[in-house]
Amino acid sequence: MTDKDHAMSLFSRLSVNTKYNIISSMLLMVLFMALAYSNYRREQSLILKGTVDNARSISRQIIETRDYLSKIETSEPEHNENLIPQVAATRIAQQLTLGSKFYVRQVSLRYRNPDNRPDTFETQQLTIFRDVKAAETWQVTMDKGKKALRYLFPMVSDESCLKCHGSYDAAPEYIKRRFPRGHFSYGYKVGEVIGAVSVSVPMEGLYQQIGANLKRDILYDGLVLLVFILVSGWIIRRTILAPVKTVASSIAAVAHSGNFSERLEQRGEDEIGELISSFNELMEELDRKTVQRVESEDRYRNFIEIAQSPIVTFMSDGKIVISNQKAEKLFGLTKQELLGQSMYDFMEQGEELRRAVDEYFSAGSSDLIGTTTRQKVRDVCGRLFEVEMVISVSQSNQSPMFSAILRAVK
Ligand code: HEC
């Protein structure tokens, strides 16, 4: 027996209720897992989309602030470097995102402030912005083993930027002082990408909530599953299993007692109701048949009792089951003594009769049966009597019975 066969036979031995519970809970579990997973994925993509939207609006806000300052400023940054458009816009954005998971920077391939030097990812994206005009870019990356959303929004120079990012000669004195002639941060043209707003958000924190949601979903699903199994198990037990069990044990009881008067209470018109009414019909029929059989047996007994000749009815093994008074008198025994004895023992040629009976079974007929023969029978004292005997077979029951009618020969 292979392991698989073994498992199958174990499974087949389980009760219907357990089988049903196992199968339905497995199906539901798969369903719930699939639902929870698709929910999780949907929430994940929603959160990602929301985060990208947020990063975009932060970037826009920075750019609008910078543009505004760049346009209205004249010589203020000369006295207060905090009013340099880039510096002010970044500070405002940093204030805004303080305490949030958003980390905001401004980067440039030709940076003035070393703090604004792009990292590998930013360099890659800035190169793309420089060479190909793109509106924005974002990507989920692995950064030091941690997932993060990286978002970049390009900054394109306009006329106002060139005051400080155009030619060295046109730049204000304080810019010239800080960034000498030939510094790579000069020489931009209108429409050129100067840099980008770079936003990064660790995903861990973002997914924390949906992780919690998933756990809650699984818990709720588990509870629903449990309630389902309990309720459906109860319904199945009540409506199907219990009535089927009642019918089964009634059949067993009837088989054991032979009492066909047993009836089950009819309930409902469904399949179970049908089963019960079939059982009741069967009992009705068996009951009727039994009454008929008992009646006909009684009639037979009465009939042979009044017959003028000795009659014994015996089974194929010779065992006498019915006898009449005349037969009892012939053998010199009471009915109690006679019943259960072997017919073959009372005959001189008992073995011959036994063979004839066997032959009747194997060949379907025998010359000793159905014809009148002369036989010698022995009474209780061992005295032999010559009789004429005729044997008839009654096949009414499963096992045929043989009736011998004897007539004493003087
Ligand atoms: C008043 C002068 C001035 C104007 C006008 C100006 N910038 Fe700047 N910009 C600077 C200075 C100075 C820095 C370096 C700031 C620092 O030290 O952090 C800078 C930094 C930057 C940076 C960050 C990268 C780096 O070099 O460190 C970007 C990007 C940038 N500017 C883009 C622009 C754009 C686009 C405009 C026009 C809308 C603009 N700037 C207008 C002076 C200016």
Q: Do domains 11-210 and 307-408 have the same CATH topology?
A: yes
Calculate how far, in angstroms, residue 84's C-alpha sits from the geometric centre of ligand 1.
7
Which comes out higher in pLDDT, residue 175 or 207?
175
Q: 265: Cβ–Cβ under 8 A, 6 or more apart, which residues?
A: 276
The whole-model pTM stands at: 0.62
Burial of 55 per CB tally in 10 Å (0-12, 13-18, 19+): buried
- d(C-alpha 57, C-alpha 153), whole Å: 10
Calculate how far, in angstroms, residue 174's C-alpha sits from the geometric centre of ligand 1.
13
Residue 193's pLDDT is what? 92
How many other CB atoms are there within 10 angstroms of residue 325's CB atom?
14
Residue 397's pLDDT is what? 57
Calculate how far, in angstroms, residue 201's C-alpha sits from the geometric centre of ligand 1.
24
Calculate how far, in angstroms, residue 36's C-alpha sits from the geometric centre of ligand 1.
48
Choose which CATH entry (3.90.76.10, 3.40.50.20, 3.20.20.70, 3.30.450.20) describes domain 307-408: 3.30.450.20
Q: 99: Cβ–Cβ under 8 A, 6 or more apart, which residues?
A: none
Residue 1's pLDDT is what? 57
| Mean pLDDT for the chain overall | 87
Domain limits of the chain?
A: 11-210, 260-298, 307-408
Calculate how far, in angstroms, residue 35's C-alpha sits from the geometric centre of ligand 1.
50
- d(C-alpha 265, C-alpha 21), whole Å: 29
From 185, 202, 110, select the one nearest 151 (Cα to Cα).
202
Residue 239's pLDDT is what? 85
Top mutation candidate among 63, 83, 84 for ligand 1, by most atoms within 8 Å of CB: 84
Q: So what CATH class is 11-210?
A: alpha beta
- d(C-alpha 110, C-alpha 116), whole Å: 9
Residue 390's pLDDT is what? 93
Calculate how far, in angstroms, residue 89's C-alpha sits from the geometric centre of ligand 1.
10
Q: Would the CB of 164 count as within 6 Å of ligand 1?
A: yes
Structure tokens at 21: 């519970």
Span 48-79, pLDDT tens digits: 899 999 999 999 988 898 888 888 877 777 78
Q: Would the CB of 155 count as within 6 Å of ligand 1?
A: yes
Residue 241's pLDDT is what? 87
Q: Would the CB of 81 count as within 6 Å of ligand 1?
A: no
Q: Which ligand 1 atom is nearest residue 108's CA?
A: 24
| Of 69-73, 230-234, 332-336, the least confident | 69-73
Top mutation candidate among 79, 165, 167, 185 for ligand 1, by most atoms within 8 Å of CB: 165
From 258, 263, 259, 261, select the one nearest 276 (Cα to Cα).
263
The phi and psi torsions of 102 (rounded to 5 degrees) equal -80, 130
Q: What is the mean pLDDT of residues 227-232?
A: 90
Specify the amino acid at residue 203.
M
Q: 209-248 burial, b for 16+ CB within 10 Å, e for fewer?
A: ebeeebeebeeebeeebeeebeeebeebbeebbebeebbe
Q: Which ligand 1 atom is nearest residue 175's CA?
A: 12
